[in-house]
């Protein structure tokens, strides 16, 4: 019983943390992370099938990263807030979703995000 309450509490807190940035800016790191979330099993467990919902997120990311500022922010976000990503797989993912020239393809852990055009 106590465990159920704790779990409920955690869900509420998580929602608040995730939802807060949405209101502040069209572009947000929380949104980038949310777009990539369905892809994480693929990106962190070494490939396999691209999970359902993943390409939808990649398309959303592609649609939002249309300016230099947004691409640099996406880069910073991917590097800083999502751990355990295999960047080799990440680079190939947009192509697997039919998106070419996507910013994800240019990001690795060593990328200097400020150099992205």
Ligand X SMILES: *[C@@H]1O[C@H](CO)[C@@H](O)[C@H](O)[C@H]1NC(C)=O
Interface residues with ligand X (CB under 6 A) are 59, 62, 66, 71, 98-99, 101, 103, 106, 116-117
Show Cβ contacts of residue 64 under 8 Å, excluding neighbours closer than 6 positions.
26, 27, 31, 32, 35, 70, 74
Measured from the CB atom, the residue of 18 and 38 that comes closer to ligand X is 38
CA distance 116 to 102: 12
CB of 108 to ligand X, least distance (A): 11
CA distance 84 to 48: 16
Measured from the CB atom, the residue of 82 and 113 that comes closer to ligand X is 113
Measured from the CB atom, the residue of 55 and 89 that comes closer to ligand X is 55
């Amino acid at each position: 019983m106590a465990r159920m309450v704790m779990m409920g509490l955690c869900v509420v807190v998580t929602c608040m943390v995730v939802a807060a940035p949405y209101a502040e800016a069209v572009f947000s790191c929380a949104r980038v992370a949310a777009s990539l979330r369905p892809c994480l099993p693929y990106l962190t467990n070494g490939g396999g099938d691209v999970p359902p919902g993943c390409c939808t997120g990649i398309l959303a990311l592609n649609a939002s990263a249309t300016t230099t500022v947004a691409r640099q922010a996406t880069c910073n976000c991917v590097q800083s807030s999502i751990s355990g990503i295999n960047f080799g797989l990440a680079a190939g993912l947009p192509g697997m979703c039919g998106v070419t020239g996507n910013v994800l393809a240019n990001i690795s852990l060593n990328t200097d995000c400020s150099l992205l055009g």
